[in-house]
Amino acid sequence: MKNEPNKAAPSAQSLERIRLDALTLLQGRQELEIAHRGEIYRLRMTRNGKLILTK
Angstrom distances, CA of residue 22 to CA of 7, 19, 32, 42, 52: 34, 9, 10, 13, 11
Decide: 22 and 29 in contact? Cβ < 8 Å.
Answer: no
Q: Is the pLDDT of residue 1 over 60?
A: no
pLDDT score at 14: 73
What is the CATH number that goes with domain 21-54?
2.10.70.10
In sequence order, which ranges of 12-53 are alpha helices (DSSP H)? 12-15, 22-26
pLDDT tens across 4-31, in order? 666 777 676 678 999 999 999 999 999 9
Mean pLDDT value of segment 28-53: 98
